[in-house]
């Protein structure tokens, strides 16, 4: 236990109150540094396009191994901008997993393109390459849409199967845009999320593993040639001098305050990631046999934005845990193809793995300031819940 204790970022708890995500503990650790950063923004007065933006972009690229990064207003903006840059729009098909947050589908529809929902692997919860091949062949056979792009999602922090997806997408000329909104800190075969696909969108929503104190996002690229268009699109489509519109764009900028917060959070990210992985290892060893944690690809390391399991009688288990002071969350109880906004794009054939997963998925508390004895308590109560539920 000495190694475990050394990796923990929280003091001895004797359990106490358990937070699902604990932003307050993190803020206590770095608040003076954040306040100094925010004061610097107040002093220079460049609330938009302040020096913090370029500093953050450089550090994000360095951290992930990407060629460059572009800070933007949200994870959704980070998805839309690369799609627009590629000219994706009406009449185009974009393949996305059916088990994801609705932003993935919204981004596709806001460009005018059509989302094609793909089933997920029941073990990794990420896009199933075999079903991607099947859905792609179906679109080509129908001939009503042009296959243009695929958006794998690094769900809960675990990288999607990019090598298998690239083997399908490459010969078909499909643009691969990684939705790394939950994936920051993840790795596959020694490469970081942000450098696993030609373009990667990520979110810095406050609850993410690397989160701002408001909405913010970023795009990471393997190709420097993309950056000029992305910078233009996030600033209403203007040229470098910001005087003339050279393309249709929108306000997709990140403000300097959010970049200032992210710079200080990025400075402690490696410590927090090590703690997340240590705690995930404890969960893996202590979970009751009926609880099946998300599996990861060979050669993958999750960033553990969330720690999620499949569990029978999920709703009853969650209610039992809540009654014993253990908060949980369900991401996601309804698959995208069954949401009213996307019903027109629902496939004619079943997405069986996705539908089953929605009935069993449950996310347990995961943050760097969780303590080992709290994980023990959660797993004990989970075992009791399975007996009682």
Domain with residue 141: its CATH number is: 3.40.640.10
Tell me: do 375 and 247 sit in the same domain: no
Cα gap 346→355, rounded to integer Å: 13
Q: Which of 124, 10, 27 is nearest to 361 (CA)?
A: 124
Tell me: do 274 and 375 sit in the same domain: yes
How many other CB atoms sit within 10 Å of the CB of residue 377?
20
Tell me: do 215 and 261 sit in the same domain: yes
Cα gap 98→127, rounded to integer Å: 8
Domain with residue 356: its CATH number is: 3.90.1150.10
SS3 category, 77: helix
Phi and psi angles of residue 346, each rounded to the nearest 5 degrees, phi first: -65, 140
Q: Which of 365, 351, 385, 384 is nearest to 125 (CA)?
A: 351
Stated as kind and residue range, the H or E segment containing 318 is helix 314-323
Cα gap 210→216, rounded to integer Å: 10
What are the per-10-residue average pLDDT scores of the chain (389 residues)?
Answer: 55 81 96 98 98 98 98 98 98 98 98 98 98 98 98 98 98 98 98 98 98 98 95 96 94 98 98 98 97 98 98 97 98 98 95 98 97 96 92
| Contact assessment for residue 243 and residue 193, using Cβ atoms and an 8 Å cutoff | no
Give CB contacts under 8 A, 24+ apart, made by 196-202.
196/159, 196/162, 197/152, 197/162, 197/222, 198/222, 198/223, 198/226, 199/82, 199/175, 199/223, 199/226, 200/64, 200/66, 201/75, 201/78, 201/79, 201/82, 201/177, 202/75, 202/78
pLDDT at 12 (0 to 100): 63
Domains: count for the chain: 2
Does this model's pTM top 0.85? yes
Tell me: do 8 and 149 sit in the same domain: no
Last residue of a domain, one of 232, 265, 298: 265
Q: For residue 303, what are the domain limits? A: 2-22+267-388
């Amino acid at each position: 236990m000495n190694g475990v204790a050394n990796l923990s970022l929280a003091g001895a708890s004797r359990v106490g109150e358990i937070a699902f995500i604990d932003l307050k503990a993190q803020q206590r650790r770095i608040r003076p540094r954040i306040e100094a950063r925010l004061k610097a923004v107040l002093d220079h007065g460049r609330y938009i396009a302040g020096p913090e933006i370029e500093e953050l972009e450089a550090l994000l690229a360095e951290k992930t191994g990407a060629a460059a990064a572009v800070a933007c207003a949200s994870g959704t903006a980070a998805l839309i901008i690369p799609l627009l840059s590629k000219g994706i729009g009406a009449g185009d098909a974009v393949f996305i997993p059916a088990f994801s947050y609705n932003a993935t589908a919204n981004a596709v529809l806001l460009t005018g393109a059509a989302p094609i929902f793909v089933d997920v692997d029941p073990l990794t919860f990420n896009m199933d390459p075999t079903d991607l091949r099947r859905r792609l062949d179906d679109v080509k056979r129908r001939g009503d849409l042009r296959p243009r792009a695929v958006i794998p999602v690094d769900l809960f922090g675990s990288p999607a199967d990019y090598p298998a997806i690239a083997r399908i997408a490459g010969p078909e000329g499909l643009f691969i845009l990684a939705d790394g909104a939950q994936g920051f800190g993840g790795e596959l075969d020694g490469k970081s999320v942000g450098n696993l696909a030609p373009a990667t969108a990520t979110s810095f929503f406050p609850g993410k593993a690397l989160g701002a104190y408001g909405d913010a996002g970023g795009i990471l690229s393997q190709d420097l040639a993309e950056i000029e268009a992305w910078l233009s699109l996030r600033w209403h489509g203007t040229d470098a001098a910001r005087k003339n519109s050279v393309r249709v764009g929108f306000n997709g900028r990140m403000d300097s305050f959010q970049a200032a917060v992210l710079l200080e959070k990025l400075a402690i990210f490696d410590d927090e990631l090590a703690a997340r992985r240590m705690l995930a290892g404890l969960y893996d060893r202590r979970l009751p046999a009926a609880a099946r944690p998300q599996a990861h690809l060979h050669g993958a390391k999750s960033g553990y934005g969330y720690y999620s399991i499949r569990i029978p009688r999920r709703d009853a288990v969650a209610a039992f845990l809540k009654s014993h002071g253990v908060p949980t969350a369900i991401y996601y109880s309804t698959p995208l193809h069954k949401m009213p906004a996307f019903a027109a794009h629902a496939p004619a054939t079943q997405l069986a793995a996705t539908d089953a997963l929605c009935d069993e998925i449950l996310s347990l508390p995961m943050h760097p300031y969780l303590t080992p004895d709290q994980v023990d308590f959660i797993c004990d109560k989970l075992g009791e819940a399975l007996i009682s539920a």
